[in-house]
């Protein structure tokens, strides 16, 4: 095994690593520490971590990284695929959804809040749901709170809005006018938007904004959309007329319509009006484990003449990725390549 130098970490990354290790030791009773010297085989890791548990020692090649994209765990896993040591993602904070994604990938992680997943022969640690540390709360980043996600969703779906005035943006996003300015300032401060003169703005990295949105939508905005569960006849879903109820297909049904790739097993509907008539007309019955989920529509713009009974592709993409299902992930990739990525040049 060749000895190589460890990657150079910033002061902030070193602080994240030290805090995550200290919190892991405190919450689990393990004895983890940083080893100096060999970081990996053929590539530099940020550090080598040794974890002592039950008279055994386990070594991990650590990468310190902020998880602001749903794909980040898979990227880290792929980067260390050929290393002689087990990979370890070290992050400021890991949400429950990202934790589940890491476990599906068998990617160990620790964060500064005490969330952790460590797996090796004779070792299994899985801690999730620890609250986000105060200094990392999302209100520091206005684009990642619920109103901010309304606004960035509108910008991703309608890139021309970036040059509209704040009142038009607020109307399309269904938010208060006063929330638009702070979100724009946040995007600009983080290098995601360039403000020139007047309404001359440019989204510098719509791909990054999309991945932030997909990562935070399931935990920050979706629970606020009044989700309700029902059971319906799986074979009759294609007969449901959502247009007359001012509602839209999301998730697997929308993906089937867009890609002709999936056979839906679960049905996601976003509705603008009270759902009593929709539920009655289609003989749905309330069921907490039902195959139909109905949520409130949260945008105020058309979804296009050919896709009038479907939510915007960005939302279909997010719904599919949140399921952690392989077939859904394949469909999501197709939707991204065919429906989302081509629109990005309009935002730049």
CA distance 63 to 46: 5
Question: Quick one: pLDDT at residue 186?
Answer: 86
pLDDT in tens, the chain (348 residues): 223 334 567 777 888 899 999 999 998 889 999 986 544 444 468 899 999 988 899 999 999 988 867 778 888 888 787 666 789 999 999 988 889 989 999 999 999 999 999 999 989 999 998 888 876 655 567 888 899 999 999 999 998 899 899 999 999 999 999 999 889 988 887 888 887 665 678 888 899 899 889 988 998 899 999 999 999 887 777 778 888 888 999 999 999 999 888 888 889 999 998 899 999 988 899 998 899 999 999 999 876 655 578 999 999 999 999 887 888 889 999 999 999 988 876 545
CA distance 305 to 156: 18
CA distance 97 to 101: 6
Q: What are phi and psi of 78, to 5 degrees?
A: -65, -40
Cα Rg of the chain, angstroms: 22
**What residue spans of the chain are helical by DSSP H?**
11-28, 72-79, 96-105, 146-157, 166-173, 180-189, 206-216, 251-259, 276-281, 313-321, 326-335
Question: Quick one: pLDDT at residue 198?
Answer: 59
Residue 270: strand pairing partners:
248, 295
- If phi over 0 gives left and psi between -120 and 50 gives alpha, with beta otherwise, what is residue 294? beta
Question: Quick one: pLDDT at residue 87?
Answer: 92
Locus of tokens 């000895």: 3
Q: Measuring CA to CA, which residue among 23, 96, 14, 77 is closest to residue 47?
A: 14
Question: Quick one: pLDDT at residue 151?
Answer: 96
Question: Quick one: pLDDT at residue 6?
Answer: 47
Q: Measuring CA to CA, which residue among 113, 77, 74, 108 is closest to residue 93?
A: 113
Residue 228: strand pairing partners:
294
User: Residue 212 corresponds to which tokens in the numbers above?
Assistant: 């932030």
């Amino acid at each position: 095994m060749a000895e190589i130098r460890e990657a150079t970490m910033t002061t902030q990354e070193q602080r994240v690593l030290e805090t995550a290790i200290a919190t892991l030791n405190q919450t689990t009773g393990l004895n983890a520490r940083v080893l100096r010297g060999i970081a990996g085989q053929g590539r530099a890791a940020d550090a080598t971590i040794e974890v002592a548990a039950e008279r055994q020692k386990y070594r991990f090649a650590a990468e310190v990284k902020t998880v602001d994209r749903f794909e980040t765990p898979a990227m880290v896993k792929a980067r260390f695929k050929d290393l002689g040591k087990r990979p370890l993602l070290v992050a400021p904070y890991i949400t429950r959804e990202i934790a589940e994604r890491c476990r599906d990938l068998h990617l160990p992680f620790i964060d500064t809040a005490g969330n952790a997943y460590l797996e090796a022969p004779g070792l299994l640690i899985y801690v999730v749901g620890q609250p986000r540390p105060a200094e990392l709360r999302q209100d520091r980043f206005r684009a990642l709170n619920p109103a901010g996600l309304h606004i960035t969703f509108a910008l991703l779906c309608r890139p021309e809005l970036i040059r509209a005035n704040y009142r038009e943006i607020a109307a399309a996003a269904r938010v208060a006018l006063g929330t638009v300015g702070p979100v724009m300032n946040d995007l600009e401060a983080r290098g995601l938007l360039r403000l020139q003169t007047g309404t001359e703005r440019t989204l510098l990295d719509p791909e990054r904004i999309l991945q932030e949105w997909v990562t935070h939508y399931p935990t920050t905005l979706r629970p606020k959309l009044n989700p309700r569960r029902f059971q319906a006849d799986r074979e009759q879903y294609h007969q449901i007329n959502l247009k007359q109820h001012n509602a839209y297909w999301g998730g697997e049904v929308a993906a089937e319509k867009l890609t002709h790739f999936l056979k839906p097993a679960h049905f996601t509907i976003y509705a603008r009006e009270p759902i009593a008539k929709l539920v009655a007309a289609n003989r749905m019955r309330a069921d907490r484990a039902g195959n139909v989920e109905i949520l409130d529509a949260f945008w105020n713009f058309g979804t296009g003449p050919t896709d009038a009974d479907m939510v915007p592709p960005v939302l279909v993409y997010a719904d599919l990725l949140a399921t952690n299902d392989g077939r859904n992930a394949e469909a999501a990739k197709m939707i991204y390549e065919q429906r989302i990525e081509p629109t990005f040049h309009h935002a730049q």
